[in-house]
Amino acid sequence: MPDVTSKTPDRARTRFPGISSRAYEHPADRSALVALRSLTGFDTVLRRMSGLFSERAIRLTYLAGSVRAGENQFRHLHDLVRDASYILDLPEVPELYVVQNPQPQAMAIGNDRPFLVVTTGLLDLHDDEELRFIVAHEVGHILSGHAVYRTMMMILTQLGARLAWVPLGNIGIAAILMGLQEWSRKSELSADRAGLLAGQDPEAAKRALMKMAGGTRLREMNTEAFLAQAREYDAAQDVREGMLKFLNLLRQSHPFSVVRFAEIDRWAKGGEYARILGGDYPRRADDAHAKVTDEVKNAARAYRESWSESADPFIGKLRSVAEGAAGAAEGLFDRLGRRGGSD
């Protein structure tokens, strides 16, 4: 049985000066972010919209009703946030608050001055190296700027609820939200990669995801068996099960645990992770030159690879249609790129 008990790495971790979030972002997440960042004034509009929900008031609520980690409180958590920020070269170390809640949860909140929140249920569930992965996952969200775009999703969700009584009032918003939720799920895969880059312990990352599914009894779990679950889930028995998987996913804010486990296992064993550890990664200084067309092509390629690797018969039925749509999108961006001369 593969060992899934806790182990602390006995080596120094590699730091990534000037690393761009593009280094670890899932292609579908990255293409959306590059496109959004390329829209002049888009971030400004979102920040003004987010002003409807007072970030300062939210922070004051946590300041009053939870425990802020620091030199004298939850020192080990404070050190984990500081270390993750140092390794990923985040300009400012975010604050972290601990909330009494038995549900294991962690989140990054805010746009102008993002901070982290973790629950006591999360602390009780994980060891220090697993927490290092989880904390760095949230730091990755901050480095990618995900909070800014999730603000739009929150606003649209509330707006949709207000328009629910209007005939056809929230259908358009619901369609937009479906797209944003798919992006948000991909952003979780990006943040998992950031967590692995900061922790540099693939087994701790996998343990953390297994515990989110099955609790603390690691000796009752098996990494190969859990990976086999992921393969079984991916395959499905027939088209009907594939459709049910799709419908179940629509209600999820995060990808399912077995999917995240399989994704981080694949990325940890792939060449991209090794190249970044070796110092070969995109720099933040070059972010302004990132091209939307290139990232859309990368996203289409990633989806193609995912479709080709999937044994799901429902995906098989949709593959030809989806590949045609992806090819059309690539061709459209190619033509736009040639006409405009730049992105």
Q: What is the pLDDT of residues 156-206, one digit of tens each?
A: 666 655 555 555 455 555 665 666 677 778 889 999 999 999 999 999 999
Output the average pLDDT for the chain: 77
Number of residues assigned to the chain? 343
Instruction: Please report, rounded to a whole number, the percentage of residues in the chain having pLDDT higher than 70.
Output: 59
pLDDT at site 33: 62
In the three-class reduction of DSSP (H, G, I as helix; E, B as strand; rest coil), residue 288 is classed as: helix
The continuous run of DSSP H or E covering 118 comes out as strand 115-119
pLDDT at site 186: 83
Band (343; pLDDT cuts 50, 70, 90): very low
Dmax over Cα atoms in the chain, in whole Å? 61
pLDDT at site 301: 54
The answer, yes or no, to whether residue 130 has pLDDT greater than 60, is yes
In the three-class reduction of DSSP (H, G, I as helix; E, B as strand; rest coil), residue 116 is classed as: strand
38-52, 56-70, 312-326: range with highest mean pLDDT: 56-70
Question: Of the listed 55, 138, 188, 263, which one is catalytic?
Answer: 138
pLDDT at site 184: 77
Active site residue 138: yes
How far is Cα of residue 112 from the mean position of the Cα atoms in its chain? Answer: 20
**Model pTM?**
0.76
Pick the more confident residue, 54 or 108. Answer: 108
Residue type, 160: G
Model pLDDT for residues 99-121, shown as the tens digit of each residue? 999 999 999 988 778 899 999 99
